[in-house]
Amino acid sequence: MADNDQITYLDINVLQPNPLQPRGLITPESLVDLVDSIREHGILEPLVVAETPAGYQIIAGERRWRASKIVGLTQVPTIVKKTSHRGMLEMAIVENVQRVDLNPLERAQGFKRMMDEFALGTAEIAQRIGKSQAYVSNSLRLLTLPDALKDALLSGIVTEGHIRALAAIEDPNLMIEALRQILREGGSVRRAEELSREYKTKVQGETPKHDFQRVHSDEMVEMEKTLGGKLGAKVKIAQSMREARLMIVVKGNVEKTSDFLRSVNKVLEEQFVAQSSNGQNKEEVEVEVKEEKTEESSSSGDGPTITV
């Protein structure tokens, strides 16, 4: 409160809630502690109100006003401001973003109203509320999230920190999947950050379907059959405009699959040596080895599936 702000006691019934107030529903349950405080100590901080043709409208302090009515006060201390429609909204938002109990989504909705109604950018909003531009941008980002994440935040089962971490995942479906995992585990914000990195890495590591399409020519089909018969394994060949991929899947116990991998490695080494001795340039070959337990191999007792 500025030194030159004069405190005026107004009848509690002449005050009106600010229609531009960014805060949403204020429930009686949320006022219990404030009611007890006012009943014991009175109103420690004056309400800020605007004098308008429609009467005195509350800019800051609606919760104190409602709690005072519950207590039964007839007058409340106020600081009367003369301001515009725009000024009322800005002052209300500035007051609210300082409150730790303001829901992050309500705060974001307040910022959006400033953008929509007054054509303010994130930098201008940040300057008015004394926060960073990133703070405003991140708050607005909450409004674009899937409903499942917003509902979780509103209900209080996760924090804003959890949601900010999960928001880094671009795929909405993966966001929801990560949220469910957090809820199952009771994970911390740090765990949410770890999951976010894991899901982003997973997406980046996947080859887009439109970039890698299976070739269905008779020649490719014949090559798969021939090579699969010689290796005694399932073979798939895929080709795009930029690369070709050969996938060999062999099932068996660890000893069998290890022997198979050593055999494949030996054949590849011999082929590369032969090319080098003939003065041929070796093609760039990337060999990826994956070991995974499939339902089929688990039920049959054959052991892991090796994908090369």
In order along the chain (308 residues), what is the average pLDDT of each group of 10 residues?
75 85 65 90 90 84 90 94 75 67 83 84 88 92 93 92 92 92 93 90 59 58 81 76 74 77 74 59 49 45 47
Q: List the domain boundaries for the chain.
A: 1-102, 145-206, 218-307
- Helix (H, G, I), strand (E, B), or coil: what is residue 206? coil
Q: C-alpha angle with apex 118: 116 to 120, nearest 5 degrees?
A: 85
Residue 189 has a pLDDT of: 94
User: Measured between alpha carbons, how far is residue 115 from residues 89, 124, 167 in Å?
Assistant: 11, 9, 22
Contact 98, 135 (CB under 8 A): no
User: Measured between alpha carbons, how far is residue 106 from residues 116, 142, 199 in Å?
Assistant: 15, 10, 28
Residue 70 has a pLDDT of: 93
- Token pair 């003369």 is at which residue? 82
**Please, what CATH class does the domain formed by 1-102 belong to?**
alpha beta
Phi, psi of 274 (to 5 degrees): -65, -40
Specify whether 62 is catalytic: yes
Q: C-alpha angle with apex 92: 91 to 94, nearest 5 degrees?
A: 65
Phi, psi of 57 (to 5 degrees): -110, 140
Give the C-alpha separation, 220 to 225, whole Å: 9
Residue 241 has a pLDDT of: 57
Give the C-alpha separation, 145 to 159, whole Å: 14
- Cβ neighbours of 146 (radius 10 Å): 15
Which is catalytic among the residues 62, 106, 219, 284? 62
Give the C-alpha separation, 18 to 203, whole Å: 46
In this structure, what token pair is assigned to residue 204? 């980046």
Give the C-alpha separation, 280 to 76, whole Å: 91
